[in-house]
Amino acid sequence: MSAAPSLPTFAGVVPPVATPLLPDGTIDHTSLERLVERLIDEGVSGLFALGSTGETAYFTDDQRVELLTTIVRAAAGRVPIIAGAIELTAPRIIATARRLVDAGAQAIVTTAPLYTLNSVTEVAEHFRMIAAAIDVPLWAYDVPVRVHSKLGIDMLVQLGTEGVIHGVKDSSGDDVSFRRLIAANVAAGRPLQLLTGHELVVDAMALAGADGVVPGFANVEAEGYVRLWDAAANGDWNAARTEQERINRLFDIVFQPSGLSGDATGVGAFKAAMHARGIIDHPTMAVTVQSLDADTVARIRSILSEQGILPVSVA
């Protein structure tokens, strides 16, 4: 559990890798390799495999291992890889996580229990039980819109101090809480690395003290986030803001679908744009998730074109 020097760190731009699928719903390994190659080429500093953007909840553990294996092989050790073990409770998460570690995950990230009704004490015990059962660093993923509970600041810093968790991916939608987490982490001697999932305000969260960002949109274009993060790291906040505003205009692709689910909308827009740019061969969604219609795809292509990132020469 000790933070030995050899442990992987996750900071800067760490995209959640999308899951390219063939029209029959099976994994498109060729597109996945191309995607990973492109992300690394554009300068990301780590990969977040099997997250929400990767539609991980829709895949069996066998498929998850298959996905992770390709990501690990394609990354070839150039950047560290953290993998999501999304499951109901500690015993089930441990089973999944061990398979992912065997497949090459250098760290595991998971949420509070799903479906169950737990106290803070029980949620802390949940993370302790998982950390004790795996051989790589554990991260906590705070995403109330999916988990329907929020991870508390005191618990997170306590678990960090104990060495149970090594970092937090914050997709809580609560910037005030994240700022307070940053301050509490500093006061505790920085046991945690803190990544934001709020890709529209990375400049602001960097100013606030975030260690990095997990931007789903990087699947469409990663280099903007890399430039943004470098500018912030150099204290050039005006440049960071300018880049963020450029990205946000592109991010409008996510607001083009209407009447669809959250998963169909967000990941659907990313996949449509990735397909338009030639990064993936098919915009196929995971099973049961609806596809975008042609008009929506046309509006997405139009935004990419207006912002000058279509066509693209693909690696």
How far is residue 248's CA from residue 299's CA, in Å, rounded to a whole number?
Answer: 16
Q: Does 22 bind a copy of itself (CB under 8 A)?
A: no
How far is residue 15's CA from residue 197's CA, in Å, rounded to a whole number?
Answer: 9
Q: How far is the CB of 107 from a copy of itself (least distance, A)?
A: 20
Among 241, 242, 302, 307, binds a copy of itself (CB under 8 A): 241
Single-letter code of the amino acid located at 188: A
Q: Which of 251, 246, 166 is nearest to 212 (CA)?
A: 166
Q: Is 88 exposed, middle or buried (0-12, 13-18, 19+ CB in 10 A)?
A: exposed
For residue 203, which phi and psi values (nearest 5 degrees)? Answer: -60, -45
Window 157-196: contact mask with a copy of itself (x via CB under 8 A): ----------------xxxx--xx--x-------------
Q: Does 146 bind a copy of itself (CB under 8 A)?
A: yes
The three-class DSSP label of residue 264 is helix
Total number of residues that touch a copy of itself (CB under 8 A): 62
User: Do 264 and 272 contact (CB within 8 A), yes or no?
Assistant: no
Q: Does 115 bind a copy of itself (CB under 8 A)?
A: yes
6 vs 238 by CB, closer to a copy of itself: 238
DSSP symbols for 24-64: TSSB-HHHHHHHHHHHHHTT-S-EEESSTTTTGGGS-HHHH
Q: Does 58 bind a copy of itself (CB under 8 A)?
A: yes
Among 163, 237, 278, 291, binds a copy of itself (CB under 8 A): 237
Longest dimension (CA), the chain: 53
Q: How far is the CB of 6 from a copy of itself (least distance, A)?
A: 30
User: Do 270 and 19 contact (CB within 8 A), yes or no?
Assistant: no
Name beta bridge partners: 258: none
- Residues in 262-301 that interact with a copy of itself by CB under 8 A: 262-264, 287-290
Q: Does 18 bind a copy of itself (CB under 8 A)?
A: no
Which pairs with CB-CB distance under 8 Å and at least 24 residues apart come from 226-229? 226/12, 226/13, 226/42, 226/43, 226/44, 228/202, 228/203, 229/12, 229/13, 229/202
- Residues in 59-78 that interact with a copy of itself by CB under 8 A: 59-60, 63
Stretch that binds a copy of itself, among 7-15, 66-74, 121-129, 306-314 (CB under 8 A): 121-129
118 vs 302 by CB, closer to a copy of itself: 118
How far is residue 235's CA from residue 146's CA, in Å, rounded to a whole number?
Answer: 34
Q: How far is the CB of 297 from a copy of itself (least distance, A)?
A: 18
Q: Does 57 bind a copy of itself (CB under 8 A)?
A: yes
User: Do 138 and 127 contact (CB within 8 A), yes or no?
Assistant: yes
Among 29, 73, 78, 92, binds a copy of itself (CB under 8 A): 92
Among 2, 6, 238, 258, binds a copy of itself (CB under 8 A): 238
Stretch that binds a copy of itself, among 4-12, 72-80, 101-109, 116-124 (CB under 8 A): 116-124
How far is residue 165's CA from residue 153's CA, in Å, rounded to a whole number?
Answer: 13
Q: Does 85 bind a copy of itself (CB under 8 A)?
A: no
Q: Does 245 bind a copy of itself (CB under 8 A)?
A: yes
Q: Does 126 bind a copy of itself (CB under 8 A)?
A: yes
Question: Which residues bind to a copy of itself, rule: CB under 8 A?
Answer: 57-60, 63, 86-92, 95, 111, 113-119, 121-122, 125-126, 129, 145-148, 173-176, 179-180, 183, 198, 200-201, 203-205, 207-208, 235, 237-238, 241, 245, 248-249, 259-264, 287-290
